[in-house]
Structure 1
Amino acid sequence: MTHIFVYGTLMKGQPNHYRMFDKANGEAEFLASACTTQKYPLVIATQFNVPFLLNDPGQGHHIQGEIYRVDQRMLKFLDEFEDMYQRTLVQLEVKGTQSRADGGEERLEPGNLTEAYGYTKVQYPPEWRSLPTYERYDTSGDHGLRYVTREERGSRI
């Protein structure tokens, strides 16, 4: 099992969250909310308003997101789904956890430091560095840049 940090459309309440629990993609379990210990620029770019975490540590904000434990099948799905990104190990501070009624052995406590893989953008157009940066992504945020789903993109051709 692998820990994944999601900060964009895969988070709870966001357009692609359902993909985390589609059994055809594999298994995923929410473990905790967290934020990066280092600052990163989180920007919204392209004509489809996609959130990107730029792999430029020290710039931007401490990014808020969620930690999931995923199996190998879900990891493979996420690697393919996040094909514009590179899987990168990020350091995180746990903010909140889901209680584990099943008595599972894995427990992340608020305030603990941990690490998980996040999907970051390593190569990007230089003009992205001048875009506004965000601490937390929400497709319905004040930025007014609603994410265009992959399904909607097909109907725009």
Structure 2
Amino acid sequence: MFVFIYGTLKRGFPNHEFMQGTFQSEALTVEQYPLVVGTRMGVPFLLMFPGQGKRVKGELYMVNETQLEYLDEFEAVQQGLYFRERIQVEQLVDAPKQGIVEAWAYFRGTGGPYWACDVDSLFRNQHLEEYTQQYTKNFIPRNQR
């Protein structure tokens, strides 16, 4: 199964060492979504407002069930920080097999730690097409929060 990664788990980003699975290609969401960086911890969030925001660029990984469960734990799904939903993404030119595929993606949930802003507040922030290295300067790793 595929998972779409858009933030700090991407290659070359602060949490990539925790990414499990096999890189497939860069990818772009078929539908528009708001991608925001809006907490004082500099954490990127994809918001479940389909049709709003922008087509988001990220990375597509192949994962197995165990790796997906690990990602659920890493993304604090049980605590409500994120929830996982299937979306369609378009594999970009470097893909061995181009086209549109279904992938899991992690969206901002309604729970989590005190510093995680509510979805409505986050929605008011700038909507990004891509989480790039410039946004990592304000990112605070988990072990420093």
Q: Judge conservation of contact 2:42–2:136 (CA < 8 Å) in 1.
A: no
Taking the aligned partners of 1:147 and 1:59, their CA distance within structure 2 comes to: 25
1:10-33 Cα offsets, whole Å, 9 max, x none, are 111110111125xxxxxx111111
* Cα separation, partners in 2 of 1:59 and 1:47, compared to 1, 3 Å: same
What does residue 60 of structure 1 align with? Answer: 53
Matches within 5 A, 1:10-49: 10-21=9-20, 28-49=21-42
What does residue 130 of structure 2 align with? Answer: 136
Q: CA deviation at 1:145?
A: 5.2
1:26-82 Cα offsets, whole Å, 9 max, x none, are xx1111110001110000122211000000011111000011011222111100111
* Cα separation, partners in 2 of 1:144 and 1:85, compared to 1, 3 Å: closer
* Cα separation, partners in 2 of 1:55 and 1:145, compared to 1, 3 Å: farther
Taking the aligned partners of 1:113 and 1:67, their CA distance within structure 2 comes to: 11
Q: CA deviation at 1:122?
A: 4.2
Matches within 5 A, 1:4-153: 4-21=3-20, 28-83=21-76, 84-97=81-94, 107-109=96-98, 112-123=99-110, 124-138=118-132, 140-141=133-134, 146-153=138-145
TM-score normalised according to structure 2 size: 0.85
- Mean Cα displacement is larger for which, 125-134 or 40-49? 125-134
- Runs (4+) of structure 1 moved beyond 6 Å? none
What does residue 103 of structure 1 align with? Answer: none
Structure 2 gaps of 5+ residues are 111-117
Taking the aligned partners of 1:71 and 1:144, their CA distance within structure 2 comes to: 28
TM-score normalised according to structure 1 size: 0.79
Q: Per residue, is there more strand in 1 or in 2?
A: 1
Taking the aligned partners of 2:136 and 2:18, their CA distance within structure 1 comes to: 24
**CA RMSD in angstroms, aligned pairs only:** 1.7
Letter of the 1:79 partner, please give it. D
